[in-house]
Structure 1
């Protein structure tokens, strides 16, 4: 591999991917505070880990290198100065209520025997009951955490996004997820594997949000980015300017407006690319779908609303005679709604025409096979409770070019 990151398609044979194995952060989910942490239910950690391990096994059986985010973050803390800077940044963004709590948590983190335990603890969060400085303190609310856990982190697709040979360190939509991007920032700045030659295409300190689940690399020239609940059009414009000014080779960005509903959350929950000319799609988004094309225009960009259908646009911009849109659950309104909620269209393509999916989406998986797609099924009854599928749980670092 000549460069550490190489992602110029959604379908090129996957060689290296980053995941996060769910940890104790899931055991800090509580029914009264699920909305705050963007969850609808509480996964059973032991089974979620088993499911995630099977996901990893499927990838490794295909010869794919699987890197754990928690390992990379640990390895990025290469000296004490970097470690102290990491702790400072983490604590400054943790919304801790008092100086006393901050000081005790700092001591707690600094005393952990290994950097890996430090990383795990920052992901897990800190319960108030762990702090001696709070013994006997009366609070106006009964919120149990001095620092919130990060239960969404096993969806590694979102905090950063690899594009070409570069990376977008994202500004997350919800406050509860913004600390997740600290890990990506340290990995791509300090980890020996990445620190030398990774262009930064977007920064976590930007004013408007963008998340990786909305970013699809359709070809060496074309990106698709969802305008969604979690990604602003302004962010897409800013990212487009940076990409066009770089040497990444992309010359067109399709902004696909999927609306602001939680059930559609990101573009990859309703639309993914699975072969040169095949895509999965949730039928609910096809009606009145708005698509904007962003291109370079002199020293700035041009934004044009398209009049053609998504199907025709994809065929045109990908230089194909036609494309096939495979509707979730075959388009049946009841089955499609159920299977889209369970990430039936959130497919991870590991090679052209070869995907990883949840086994629970039986109708959609049957339709994929009928379309000639090779399907690898993994269990996901617990993982899906976080509202994400195989694509959400994986961030490609290297794909072979096609």
Structure 2
């Protein structure tokens, strides 16, 4: 491991990605549609194909110069007996998030996912002992797919299906101590297609957010260290120098759940709707790297869900 060769650092979603944590998929097949429905997946999944998708994701990141840590390789034999049967373990984004120079550990909002949080956190606490911050309310859920850095000043957090207001309130002051000046809380619909914030919007450029058009009707509760106020979502984003590209039609996971490799390059799914990237002037200039993650997306998440940035330049 090269953990002593870098320090946690994330102040945006779009600057150059230098170090990322992943986890290879489970060894299990999801063999029929009834099982898929009961575990919250959209279709049956073959683990061999899922592994091929994962290797394409990992290799593409490495070829772009990103250091990749697969935490499944660091588990004890005992942990791995359980871990390799956890079908959602490759959705590492939810487990923790780096805000500024600290790591905030998530808390599972679903009992199905609780073991992987424990496994990953034991490693993260060992790797970054000085920089770990926990949710102070033990029963309060915080899944970090609900947390998005807008810029060095602002963080947007969704509460709802998997993240609680209590959890956000327990870490709010620590986020301000990192140097962020505003935290906006939004409460989005509680459905499988709106499960986390990053299934509804994403940062695509220093000054552009892509979002489902229904979000324009939602207010946000904006907190500073001393005050709070309400704004509409677009007003808040504009206030922080971000335009919004409202999508009227979308295929939720591939169209919204992408990741920025650097300010010029987006890593997107081969299933993404290509027309949306050509319609907006800021996106026309982007270098788009497409990868095959269809088998992994059947688990209910996309490329952003599968990647946990530890260092952005």
1:326 aligns to what? 245
- State the distance in 1 between where 2:257 and 2:73 align: 25
CA distance in 2, matches of 1:235, 1:351: 30
1:21 aligns with 2:24: yes
Check conservation: 1:165, 1:199, Cα contact below 8 A: no
Equivalent residues in 2 for 1:16-55 (5 A)?
16-24=19-27, 26-27=28-29, 31-55=33-57
Match of residue 296, structure 1, among 218, 222, 225? 225
Aligned match of 2:304: 391
1:356, CA displacement in angstroms? Answer: 0.8
Q: Deviations over 1:69-95 (max 9, x none)?
A: 1124x3xxxxxxxxxxxxxxxxxxxxx
TM-aligned CA deviation for residue 151 of structure 1: 0.8
In the alignment, what sits opposite 1:364? 276
Q: How big is the shift at 1:35? A: 4.7
**Corresponding residue of 1:232:** 164
Q: Residue 254 of structure 1 aligns with which residue? A: 184
Corresponding residue for 2:106?
Answer: 170
2:307 is the counterpart of 1:374? no
Q: Matched residues in 2 for 1:228 and 1:377: separation?
A: 31
SS at match of 2:254: coil
> Which structure 2 segments of 5+ residues have no match?
none
> Deviation above 6 Å: which 4+ runs of structure 1?
none
Kept in 1, the 8 Å contact 2:40–2:300? The answer is no
- Structure 2 counterpart of 1:142: none
Q: Is residue 59 of structure 1 aligned with residue 61 of structure 2?
A: yes
Work out the CA distance in 1 between the residues paired with 2:307 and 2:40. 19
CA RMSD of aligned residues (A): 2.2
For residue 214 of structure 2, give the secondary structure of its aligned residue in structure 1. helix
Q: Report deviation, 1:325.
A: 2.0
Question: How many residue pairs end up in the alignment?
Answer: 308
Partner of 1:282: 212
Note if contact 1:227-1:259 (Cα within 8 Å) is conserved in structure 2: no
SS at match of 1:392: coil
Q: Find the partner of 1:343 among 244, 254, 262.
A: 254
CA contact (8 A) 2:146 2:158 kept: yes
Contact kept in structure 2, 1:156 and 1:395, CA below 8 Å: yes
Please list every run of 5 or more consecutive structure 1 residues that lacks an aligned counterpart in the other structure.
Answer: 75-114, 125-148
**Cα distance between partner residues in 2 of 1:159 and 1:66:** 16
Q: Where does residue 69 of structure 1 map in the other structure?
A: 71
Structure 1 window deviating more from structure 2 (13-22 vs 225-234): it is 225-234
Please show how residues 117-196 of structure 1 align to structure 2 within 5 Å. 117-124=77-84, 149-191=85-127, 194-195=128-129
Q: TM-score normalized by structure 2?
A: 0.90
Structure 1 residue 352 corresponds to structure 2 residue 263: yes
Identify the residue that residue 133 of structure 2 maps to in structure 1: 200
Deviation of 1:277 after TM superposition, in Å, equals 0.7
- Aligned mates of 2:65, 2:150 — CA distance in 1: 23
Q: TM-score, normalised by structure 1?
A: 0.71
Which SS does the other structure have where 1:382 is aligned? Answer: helix
